[in-house]
Amino acid sequence: MLALLQRVQQARVEVDGHTIGQIDAGLLVLICAERGDTEAIADKLLAKILKLRIFADNAIAGPPQDGITAPSGGSESHAVGSVGAHKSSGKMNRSVQDVGGGLLIVSQFTLAADTSGGNRPGFGNAAPLDEGRRLYDYFVAQARAVHPVVQTGQFAADMQVFLVNDGPVTIPMRMSTRSGSA
């Protein structure tokens, strides 16, 4: 399973001009299931994302913001102040859980692109549509069970993703039965 994490000050995803998911400070998680991925792999990836220390030592969670409603069954967004490492001694010792940041989880099968041959990427490593949807839905359900602020995109939709990358901090991750780690 592949993920691309972006630490954000804010992010939102739109479908047909309507915002369907948004967070304040936290992580935008672009995710892709590959052939052979399982729920156990999804669980390991989620655990790693939630514990990954990529927020500044002085990053603190703020109270829920007024006027923000959570679309499609998500939780309220929370503000996270001083999330950037540049605002402290440069150390990143806190996780998204530690700072109370949000997760915006967006499916993106193009993370599985194979660019080794020719100029057109191949996507044969991506899980088939039904399996990708099942694993994405599982990942989101597990995230909502253990993290208070989870918003999502819409699987297989044409989405527009807007973000303010904080840092920038962008982390590619791979969890698989082959590697056993991210």
How many CB atoms within 10 Å of residue 41?
Answer: 20
154 close to 161: Cβ distance less than 8 angstroms: no
> What tokens does 97 get?
């859980």
Distance CA 173, CA 49 (A): 9
**Active-site annotation holder among 6, 10, 22, 108:** 108
176 close to 2: Cβ distance less than 8 angstroms: no
Q: Helices 39-51 and 129-146, interaxial angle, to 10°? A: 40
3 state SS of 70: coil
Q: Which of 88-92, 116-120, 141-145 has the lowest mean pLDDT?
A: 88-92
59 close to 33: Cβ distance less than 8 angstroms: no
**Active-site annotation holder among 6, 109, 139, 152:** 109
160 tagged catalytic: no
**pLDDT top residue among 171 and 70:** 171
* Average pLDDT of the segment spanning 136-144: 98
110 tagged catalytic: yes
Query: How do 2-15 and 159-174 pair as beta strands?
Result: antiparallel
pLDDT, residue 63, reads 43
- Above 60 in pLDDT, residue 47? yes
**What is the number of residues in the chain?**
182
142 tagged catalytic: no
- Above 50 in pLDDT, residue 27? yes
**Active-site annotation holder among 19, 65, 110, 177:** 110
pLDDT band at 86 (very low <50, low <70, confident <90, very high): very low
pTM (2 d.p.): 0.84
Based on the number of CB atoms within 10 Å of its own CB, is 60 exposed (0-12), middle (13-18) or buried (19 or more)? middle
106 close to 52: Cβ distance less than 8 angstroms: no
* Average pLDDT of the segment spanning 113-133: 96
